[in-house]
């Protein structure tokens, strides 16, 4: 398909954010009488789901300590639930389990979920947690678990299938999707608004630009002459000067090839997604100590077995995103993750032999505070920088569409760029994960 000479809305990136924004923008334009999907063009340097969205683990959860994240995630889950067939969404629930250090955090999360009508069950105390888990998985044997937050909504989606599902919905509304188009630069007017976007397939005049490129956002950020380093003010008023706007992390994920049904609940139904953090010593099945520090993993049933991951690895502020990494990079990860599965359930004892280097993980570009930026970064350029919270946030595009058509989103407001200068940052939990 040929790149047009001009378009009203140019969306850069055919992952979760680009596709969702284009689809919901088409609906907003039609409903408000402001236009139609024919006013929207999506370009991607490779194709639909070719980047981070295509290898995401696919977990959909609302286990966030930050009020703004929790409220936004509830809205995202509603979008997943609105068309589970098209989005290939499995509403199996999500369980967060933690040690004593996380009891207060997860209790606050549960209370906040209840206030917004997000159904859950909260269990505290090691004996009670163990008993609750054994009613679901009789072979449960994890140590050091003092709290269980069982979200009855959430679950996971099959990532590539879901991306094509959204793309089909966007095309049905008249949106044009063009593969093989790499953005190479921008022309701007005196006010800073982008007037033309240059690509390897020619240039296109634009009225508005939406950037949703996942870990490639620092590259577009530089093209827009936005700062690589920023000053960050804390809520207490302390200023940290010259912080990197972007830091890359490797996302460690993999899978074991076993009968997927072997991960069923005791009643034969599909299991929830499991996320375990614990400070109990972790040993391999042969008795070798893996770690005696706080560790965490997550895992879910997949089509070919059990898939999941563990804490990411910091890379730094510089990273060559192309070719995009598509597998775990730490040699110790398979041993750790498989030992952790066995630590949690006896059914996974000896699973290291079934480990497979799957196309998963990759790398993420995290912001200065590890939370997303959703904001206009030029007068007519809206940037969706998810800080690797991305795939589960299918509803961000719906909120962005409202903003693009002249509305306001209270859900996106806490993620505006100016928070770094004003000190209106998000609270930090005791989780070992940088995105929490």
Q: Write the DSSP string, 5-73.
A: SEEEEEEE--SHHHHHHHHHHHHHHHHHTS--GGGEEEEESS-TT-SHHHH---EE----SSHHHHHHH
Instruction: Give, for all 436 residues of the chain, the pLDDT tens digit.
Output: 899 999 999 999 999 999 999 999 999 999 999 999 999 999 999 999 999 999 988 999 999 999 999 999 999 999 999 999 999 999 999 999 999 999 999 999 999 999 999 999 999 999 999 999 999 999 999 999 999 999 999 999 999 999 999 999 999 999 999 999 999 999 999 999 999 999 999 999 999 999 999 999 999 999 999 999 999 999 999 999 999 999 999 888 999 999 999 999 999 999 999 999 999 999 999 999 999 999 999 999 999 999 999 988 889 999 999 989 887 778 899 999 999 999 999 999 999 999 987 777 789 999 999 999 999 999 999 999 999 998 999 999 999 999 999 999 999 999 999 999 999 999 887 776 666 6
CATH, residue 280: 3.30.9.10
Per the structure, how many domains does the chain have? 2
- Nearest in space to 401 (alpha carbons), one of 208, 254, 222: 208
* Domain shared by 36 and 131, yes or no: no
* Domain shared by 140 and 255, yes or no: yes
Q: Which residues contact 268 (CB under 8 A, 6 or more apart)?
A: none
Q: Which residues of 258-290 are buried (b: 16+ CB within 10 A; e: fewer)?
A: bebeebeeeeeebbbbbbbbbbeebebeeeeeb
The answer to whether the beta carbons of residues 269 and 139 sit under 8 Å apart is no
What is the tally of helices (H) and strands (E) in the chain? 11, 26
* Domain shared by 16 and 131, yes or no: no
* Domain shared by 332 and 397, yes or no: no
- Name the one residue in this structure whose structure tokens are 């930090």: 428
Three-state DSSP class for residue 398: helix
**Mind listing the pLDDT tens digit for each residue in 255-302?**
999 999 999 999 999 999 999 999 999 999 999 999 999 999 999 999
> What local confidence, expressed as pLDDT, does residue 433 receive?
66
Whole-number Å distance between alpha carbons of 149 and 108: 11
Encoded tokens for 366: 């995290």
Whole-number Å distance between alpha carbons of 91 and 300: 12
* Domain shared by 383 and 263, yes or no: no
Whole-number Å distance between alpha carbons of 294 and 336: 12
> What local confidence, expressed as pLDDT, does residue 361 receive?
79
* Domain shared by 176 and 230, yes or no: yes
Phi, psi of 346 (to 5 degrees): -65, -25
DSSP annotation of 345: B
Whole-number Å distance between alpha carbons of 179 and 163: 14
> What local confidence, expressed as pLDDT, does residue 116 receive?
93
Whole-number Å distance between alpha carbons of 362 and 384: 19
> What local confidence, expressed as pLDDT, does residue 432 receive?
66
* Domain shared by 400 and 324, yes or no: no
Last residue of a domain, one of 309, 341, 366: 366
* Domain shared by 217 and 307, yes or no: no
> What local confidence, expressed as pLDDT, does residue 278 receive?
96
* Domain shared by 275 and 327, yes or no: yes
CATH, residue 213: 3.50.50.60
Last residue of a domain, one of 321, 338, 366: 366
Which phi-psi region, left, alpha or beta, contains residue 354 (left: φ > 0; alpha: ψ -120 to 50)? Answer: alpha
* Domain shared by 143 and 105, yes or no: yes
Last residue of a domain, one of 316, 345, 366: 366
> What local confidence, expressed as pLDDT, does residue 420 receive?
98
Tell me, yes or no, if the pTM score tops 0.85. Answer: yes
What is the strand order of the sheet 355-356 is part of? 120-124, 147-151, 94-98, 273-278, 295-301, 306-310, 253-256, 355-356
* Domain shared by 137 and 181, yes or no: no
> What local confidence, expressed as pLDDT, does residue 89 receive?
98
Whole-number Å distance between alpha carbons of 197 and 138: 58
> What local confidence, expressed as pLDDT, does residue 325 receive?
87
> Which structural domain range is residue 147 located in?
94-152+247-366
**β partners of residue 9:** 40, 208
Whole-number Å distance between alpha carbons of 169 and 327: 30
Q: Kindly write down the DSSP assignment for every residue of 286-298, as one continuous string.
A: TS-EEESS-EEEE
- Omega cis (within 30) before 55: no
> What local confidence, expressed as pLDDT, does residue 358 receive?
74
> What local confidence, expressed as pLDDT, does residue 172 receive?
98
> What local confidence, expressed as pLDDT, does residue 79 receive?
98
* Domain shared by 103 and 234, yes or no: no
The answer to whether the beta carbons of residues 68 and 414 sit under 8 Å apart is yes
**β partners of residue 366:** 247
């Amino acid at each position: 398909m040929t790149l047009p000479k001009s378009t009203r809305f140019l969306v850069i990136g055919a992952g979760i954010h680009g596709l969702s924004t284009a689809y919901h923008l088409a609906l907003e334009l039609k409903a408000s009488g402001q236009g139609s999907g024919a006013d929207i063009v999506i370009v991607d340097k490779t194709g639909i789901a070719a980047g981070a969205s295509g290898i995401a683990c696919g977990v959909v959860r609302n286990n966030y300590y930050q009020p703004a994240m929790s409220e936004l995630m509830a809205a995202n889950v509603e979008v997943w639930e609105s068309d589970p067939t098209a989005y290939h969404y499995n509403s199996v629930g999500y369980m967060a389990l933690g040690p004593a250090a996380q009891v207060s955090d997860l209790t606050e999360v549960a209370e906040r979920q209840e206030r917004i009508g997000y159904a859950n069950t909260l269990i505290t105390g090691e004996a009670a947690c163990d008993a609750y888990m054994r009613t679901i998985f009789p072979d449960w044997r994890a140590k050091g678990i003092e709290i269980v937050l069982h979200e009855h909504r959430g679950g996971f989606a099959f990532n590539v299938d879901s991306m094509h599902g959204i793309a089909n919905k966007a095309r049905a509304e008249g949106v044009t999707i063009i593969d093989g188009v790499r953005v190479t630069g921008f022309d701007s007017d005196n006010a800073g608004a982008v007037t033309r976007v240059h690509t390897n397939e020619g240039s296109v005049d634009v009225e508005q630009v939406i950037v949703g490129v996942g870990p490639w956002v620092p590259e577009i950020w530089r093209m827009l002459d936005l700062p690589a380093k920023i000053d960050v003010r804390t809520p207490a008023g302390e200023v940290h000067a010259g912080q990197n706007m972007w830091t890359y992390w490797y996302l460690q994920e993999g899978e074991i090839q076993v009968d997927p049904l072997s991960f069923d609940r005791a009643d034969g139904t599909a299991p929830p997604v499991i996320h375990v953090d614990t400070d109990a010593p972790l040993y391999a099945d042969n008795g070798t100590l893996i770690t005696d520090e706080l560790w965490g993993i997550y895992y879910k049933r997949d089509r070919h077995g059990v898939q999941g991951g563990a804490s990411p690895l910091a890379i730094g502020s510089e990273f060559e995103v192309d070719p995009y990494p598509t597998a775990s990079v730490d040699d110790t990860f398979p041993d750790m993750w498989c030992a952790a599965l066995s630590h949690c359930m006896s059914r996974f004892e000896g699973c290291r032999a079934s480990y497979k280097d799957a196309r998963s993980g990759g790398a993420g570009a995290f912001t200065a505070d590890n939370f997303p930026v959703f904001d206009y970064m030029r007068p007519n350029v809206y940037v969706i920088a998810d800080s690797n919270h991305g795939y589960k946030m299918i509803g961000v595009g719906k909120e962005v569409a409202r903003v693009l058509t002249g509305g306001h989103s209270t859900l996106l407001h806490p993620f505006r760029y100016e928070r770094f200068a004003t000190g209106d940052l998000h609270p930090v939990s005791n989780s070992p994960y940088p995105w929490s």
